[in-house]
Amino acid sequence: MKFELVFIPYPIIGHLKSTMEMAKLLVEQETQLTISIIVLPFMSGDETSASAYVASLSAISNDRLRYKDISGGDQPTANFHVGNHIAIVKDTIAKLINDYTTKPDSPRLAGLVVDMFCTSMIDVAKEFNVPSYLFYTSNAGILSLGFHIQKLSDENKYNVTETDFEESEAELIVPSLTRPYPVKCIPIGLATKEWLPLFVNQARKFRELKGILVNTVDELEPHALKFLSSSGNDTPPAYPVGPLLQLEGYKDDEKQLEILQWLDKQPPRSVVFLCFGSVGGFDEKQTREIAVALERSGYRFLWSLRRASPNIDKEHPREFTNLEEILPEGFFDRVKERGKVIGWASQLDILANPAVGGFITHCGWNSMLESLWFGVPMAAWPLYAEQKFNAFMMVEEFGLAVEIRKYWRGNHLAGVGTVMVTTEEIERAIRCLMEEDSDVRKRVDEMSQNCRVALMDGGSSRKALKIFIQDVIKNLS
């Protein structure tokens, strides 16, 4: 029996790429499955790179993996709301179903696979009388935390407030973690009056799903996955199918080629790589603190540096126009033999280079998975979203990263309440990160192998993928 799943990713480039990797794995695994991906209008600031990426997908689109691009026409907006596009999504799905009826041997619609930020599409699945599933681009730990806080909130037992949570010494007992979780490490979205109701409602909607595909590995998060699968937990089955990585880089890019050639000249595991994601940037004072720490540490370094955006809703961080004015006087002369400051770079290609021995990261989940895949230890510098949780989990729960500081304050994206990270903190973290025979490095090497084995035939992620496909077919009957 042929069957089809319709994916609806959230319209930012990171989620779109992860969705594509998920879809590719599924159609490779099951020959009777076809997938259509509905591409929504892009978020402001992401439209240029996303448009180029979607255009490239047309070259690999085929009868079993197709893209329905409905992104044209509407102007991108920072205040994007998935609900505004329900009507056109319904029309697109209706046309797909109509095509099934006019062609022989057509597949049957088996369900919608929605993004974690597209839960309003769950009701669209109900209208078409098909199941809905979730593709969760982050980890099982933060998924479990969301379910736990939703339950506490519904029982009026969650009293974390935005006015004092960053000063609190209280701890939460979270079933998906093996140790108490400090309230001051809660992501800001789970502590503010503006955002908490949204995430609580999101977790409620998740409970209506038939299953959740999670971009993680069973060997990495066994405790959280055990919580999600425990009987009586009232959560959908979770399928750990990661790590989902787009392993094709940008080696043909001229600037990237120059960077890789420089890395090729460095000794193995000798370079500290600093990169903070597509919206990570710093002001001049924080930039100087980082520069002094790198100089004092004595280690080789590759620093992807950009200035903080004055308004993240309107533009992403850009490169500084004159680094000589920003960095300490004489900095480039003193470090020119061992350091390189760059703008944007293909993070994946750099982490894959054997010269890289440590990674200072903003703790985005994709970045952390890439670092684990290539066996590169991390120093955690969380900036926004769920990254404070990711940092706690990697440092405290798993011992796969070193800390720069114990607790992080403020909202980096909004430029509110953030506290300077000092030269001393950064330098200490670099020295700890680059220690050759550290326990962290040994654990990262072991987890790197686990991640690779998980995606092989018979590996844990491949098994989870097969179970998901079996359950999709079962839910059709």
Q: Are residues 146 and 10 in the same domain?
A: yes
Q: Are residues 71 and 104 in the same domain?
A: yes
**pLDDT score recorded for residue 58:** 65
221: nearest Cα among 450, 7, 408, 411: 450
Q: Are residues 217 and 332 in the same domain?
A: no
Task: Please give the radius of gyration of the chain, using alpha carbons only, rounded to the nearest integer.
Answer: 22
Dig out the tokens for 115 from the structure: 């993004």
Q: Are residues 232 and 296 in the same domain?
A: no
385: nearest Cα among 190, 233, 219: 190
Dig out the tokens for 416 from the structure: 């509110």
Dig out the tokens for 33 from the structure: 């499955």
Q: Are residues 421 and 441 in the same domain?
A: yes
**pLDDT score recorded for residue 186:** 93
pTM: 0.94
Average pLDDT by consecutive 10-residue portion of the chain (477 residues)? Answer: 94 87 94 94 63 71 85 52 90 92 88 95 96 97 96 94 87 94 93 92 96 98 94 89 84 84 97 93 95 98 92 79 93 95 91 98 96 98 94 97 90 70 98 97 98 97 97 92
Q: Are residues 192 and 333 in the same domain?
A: no
Can you say how many angstroms the Cα of residue 15 is from the centroid of all Cα atoms in its chain? Answer: 8
Can you say how many angstroms the Cα of residue 51 is from the centroid of all Cα atoms in its chain? Answer: 20
Q: Are residues 312 and 425 in the same domain?
A: yes
Q: Are residues 38 and 169 in the same domain?
A: yes
Q: How many CB atoms lie within 10 A of CB 420?
A: 11
- The conformation of residue 305, written as its DSSP 8-state character, comes to -
Q: Are residues 293 and 319 in the same domain?
A: yes
3-state secondary structure of 191: coil
Q: Are residues 465 and 374 in the same domain?
A: no
Q: Are residues 393 and 379 in the same domain?
A: yes
Q: Return the biggest CA–CA distance within the chain.
A: 72
Question: Are the beta carbons of 383 and 361 closer than 8 angstroms?
Answer: no
Q: Are residues 301 and 340 in the same domain?
A: yes
**pLDDT score recorded for residue 59:** 65
Distances 89 to 70, 94, 96, 119, 125 between C-alpha atoms, Å: 8, 9, 11, 13, 11
CATH number of the domain to which 92 belongs: 3.40.50.2000
**pLDDT score recorded for residue 252:** 66
**pLDDT score recorded for residue 259:** 95
359: containing domain: 254-451
Beta bridge partners of 133: 113
Can you say how many angstroms the Cα of residue 470 is from the centroid of all Cα atoms in its chain? Answer: 27
Q: Which residues contact 232 (CB under 8 A, 6 or more apart)?
A: none
Q: Which residues contact 15 (CB under 8 A, 6 or more apart)?
A: 9, 115, 117, 137
**pLDDT score recorded for residue 118:** 95
Query: How many separate domains does the chain show?
Result: 2
The sign one gets for the Cα dihedral 410, 415, 419, 421 is positive
